Amino acid sequence: MTVERLQIPTQHPFQCIALTEAVTRFIAQQGTQDGTVLISGQHTTTAVIVNEMEERLIWDLEAWLAEIAPAQRPWKHNDLELRPNIPADEPRNAHAHPQGLLLGNQVMVAVQDGKPVLGTYQDVILVELDGPRQRTVALQWIA
């Protein structure tokens, strides 16, 4: 099995980044026509989804997540003084964890004739929930 790790710098606290082109390049490197690719976020405060990369939909997604798991809620995870061995630069990012759990951090995409099997408006998307940061996404080929 082949694994590649993408290094992705994010620029904003919430951001959606299309990964479809990178996934398509990864598939082309496999030299196989049919199979599956697993796309997996390597962080608990990101998500990987398949959806439409449309600006207004992204705004709606951000608003919906903020409504369900608002940053200003008194999250226990943000009580850093009560948590042992916390680094000095630890962010108060509790809201990003349930948001990531809600969306999920990996997807599998079928590959046929060397191309990802996605619908007309679908993209593979990395969702940053606690940026800006350097993020890693793993791509794994499954024959």
Tens of pLDDT, residue by residue over 116-132, are 999 999 999 999 999 99
Measured distance CA(27)–CA(33) in Å, rounded: 9
Only one residue has tokens 């850093």, namely: 80
Full-prediction pTM beyond 0.75? yes
Measured distance CA(104)–CA(110) in Å, rounded: 18
Domain boundaries, the chain: 3-72+93-142
The residues facing 51 across adjacent strands are: 123
Q: What is the mean pLDDT of the chain?
A: 96
Q: What pLDDT, on the 0 to 100 scale, is given for residue 1?
A: 67
Average of pLDDT values for 79-87?
90
HSE on the CB side for 21, CA within 13 Å? 3
Q: For domain 3-72+93-142, give its CATH number from 2.60.120.460, 3.30.1490.20, 2.60.40.10, 1.10.340.30.
A: 2.60.120.460
User: Rounded to 5 degrees, what are φ and ψ at 61?
Assistant: -60, -45
Q: What pLDDT, on the 0 to 100 scale, is given for residue 143?
A: 84
Q: Is the pLDDT of residue 103 over 90?
A: yes
Q: Of the given ranges (16-20, 70-74, 85-89, 115-119), which has the lowest mean pLDDT? A: 85-89
Distance from CA of residue 82 to its chain's centroid? Answer: 29
